[in-house]
Amino acid sequence: MARYQLKLAYDGTEFFGFQRQGATRTVQGVFEDTLRLLGWQEDTILFAGRTDTGVHAAGQVVVFDLDWSHSSEKLKLALNAKLPEDMAVSDVKLANADFHPRYDALSRIYRYSIYHQPERNPLNDRFAWRIWPEMNGEILREAAFHLLGTHDFSAFGRAMKPGSSTIRTVLKSDWQPTETGWEYQIEANAFLYHMVRRSVYLQVQVARQKMSMQSLIAGITERAAMKPGLAPAKGLNLWQVMYPEGEQVKLKMQQVNDDVA
């Protein structure tokens, strides 16, 4: 029996979130069903974080124990041959027996995509939020800057367990122009429930002059109540999970990391 770690990518459109929910089609359920075709007999996989219904991932990290007499490369090929078209694995490798993809994570990186177009574009709609008219990029970037640092983000989401800390540290928050609109990247040591989608929504409201920058800052620094709303799930992508370099380094997160952004 060996412990394997891999990167899992999926188009979240047809999944009702990540976590297994009975007969409902979820990422975890489909992946575990596929593993069982290869002789897996454990109860559950380990994963870096839950994603909500409709949220995508390029860099979800999954860990499981498996009796496998072939190479990691052959395991990758076997899984990809059996997984559905909206899911694929890469970077399959052996992991330490005590490695946990959630608790050993240093940070997570999410990306959110927005496109500007007067008419709906079905080719973009699956993975991005359409906004028209175009937004002011300088205002977006200023709004993103205020999210940096350690704050009580209770105005942006909630902890998964009642009474848990809502203090998080945002390491990166920035908007970059694309050919069709904007892409937001945010990295934090952990996220609250819906924190990324809430952050995007509020920044967009500021950029569209439907909310003041002062209100956003007050929400960050004073936990002030703000306009309700979330950005659509379809624009969100769990891009990458960061781990310490070297197996000798072990950082166990003290905060709850089973987040749904």
Examine residue 251 and state whether it is found in any structural domain, yes or no: no
Number of domains in the chain: 2
**Residue 31 CB contacts under 8 Å (≥ 6 apart), including other chains:** 8, 45, 62, 83, 87
d(CA 162, CA 146): 27
Examine residue 79 and state whether it is found in any structural domain, yes or no: yes
Q: Are residues 61 and 86 in the same domain?
A: yes
Q: Are residues 58 and 124 in the same domain?
A: no
10 close to 58: Cβ distance less than 8 angstroms: no
pLDDT digits (tens, 9 = 90+) for 84-104: 999 999 999 999 999 999 999
Q: Are residues 204 and 129 in the same domain?
A: yes
Examine residue 249 and state whether it is found in any structural domain, yes or no: no
Examine residue 256 and state whether it is found in any structural domain, yes or no: no
Torsion of CA 165, 166, 167, 172, to 10 degrees: 140
| Other CB atoms within 10 Å distance of the CB of residue 193 | 18
Q: Are residues 84 and 151 in the same domain?
A: no
pLDDT at position 210 over 80 = yes
Q: What is the pLDDT of residue 49?
A: 95
pLDDT at position 253 over 50 = no
Active site residues: 52
Of 94, 126, 146, which residue constitutes the final position of a domain? Answer: 94
The CATH number for 12's domain is 3.30.70.580
The CATH number for 220's domain is 3.30.70.660
Q: Are residues 18 and 46 in the same domain?
A: yes
Q: Are residues 219 and 171 in the same domain?
A: yes
Q: What's the mean pLDDT in 194-209?
A: 98
Examine residue 73 and state whether it is found in any structural domain, yes or no: yes
pLDDT at position 248 over 90 = no
Q: Are residues 114 and 183 in the same domain?
A: yes
Examine residue 258 and state whether it is found in any structural domain, yes or no: no
d(CA 20, CA 260): 14
Binning pLDDT at 50, 70 and 90, where does residue 255 land? very low
Q: Are residues 65 and 181 in the same domain?
A: no
pLDDT digits (tens, 9 = 90+) for 46-85: 999 999 999 999 999 999 999 999 999 999 999 999 999 9
Q: Are residues 216 and 151 in the same domain?
A: yes
Q: Are residues 26 and 116 in the same domain?
A: no
Q: Are residues 145 and 51 in the same domain?
A: no
Instruction: Flag the least confident range among 23-37, 123-137, 162-176, 243-257.
Output: 243-257
Q: Are residues 159 and 235 in the same domain?
A: yes
Q: What is the pLDDT of residue 258?
A: 44
Q: Which domain holds residue 150?
A: 107-242
Examine residue 70 and state whether it is found in any structural domain, yes or no: yes
63 close to 47: Cβ distance less than 8 angstroms: yes
pLDDT digits (tens, 9 = 90+) for 104-129: 999 999 999 999 999 999 999 999 99
d(CA 261, CA 56): 11
Binning pLDDT at 50, 70 and 90, where does residue 160 land? confident
Examine residue 248 and state whether it is found in any structural domain, yes or no: no
How many residues does this entry show for the chain? 261
